[in-house]
Amino acid sequence: MELFNVLNELEDLVENSPKIPLTRRVLIDEEKLLDYLDRMRAALPEEVRQAKWVLQEREKVLADSKKEALRIMEEAQKQLDRRAEESEIARQAKAIAEEVVQKAEVVAREIKQGARDYADDILSGLEKELNKLITQVRNGRAELKGYKPAEEK
């Protein structure tokens, strides 16, 4: 493969370049080094370039996916909040309805009791009046028979 050949030549360049005394440094011809680097880039297989593109696309897809996931989660949270609110409203409405029904039942019982008390008062008054009338009727009949009650004698 061409890439390995260029790497071997670069290694030879480093090994055969003049050394700086008392150091591990070497002097390398800049033009030759840049030439080797250009040849290495050109020798990179297409798959390496494609792999780089795939990695970039992968990062882009991951970023887009994260954005979409956040959007979906936010929408789900909004729906959950709406449903919770609707549930709370329904619960409150039910509680109010139960309270209204209880109050209506209490008022109905009070009205019934008031009607019974009123009817009892009317009937009691009527009974007194009827008792007076019965007493008057008895006194009138007794008088007709010639019998006078003891109080008039």
CA distance 70 to 66: 6
Helices 30-43 and 2-16, packing angle to 10 deg: 160
Kindly give the confidence (pLDDT) of every residue in the chain, 153 residues in length, as a single tens digit, with 9 standing for 90 and above: 677 888 899 899 888 999 988 888 988 899 999 998 888 888 777 667 777 888 888 889 999 999 999 999 999 998 888 888 888 888 888 899 999 999 999 999 999 999 999 999 999 999 999 999 999 999 999 889 986 666 554
Residue 24 has what pLDDT? 86
What domain range includes position 13? 1-44
- Specify the number of domains making up the chain: 1
In a domain, 99, yes or no: no
Residue 132 has what pLDDT? 93
Q: What is the DSSP letter of 23?
A: S
In a domain, 19, yes or no: yes
Task: Return the amino acid letter for 106.
Answer: V
Q: 26, 20 in Cβ contact below 8 A? A: yes
In a domain, 89, yes or no: no
Beta bridge partners of 26: 19
Task: Return the amino acid letter for 115.
Answer: A
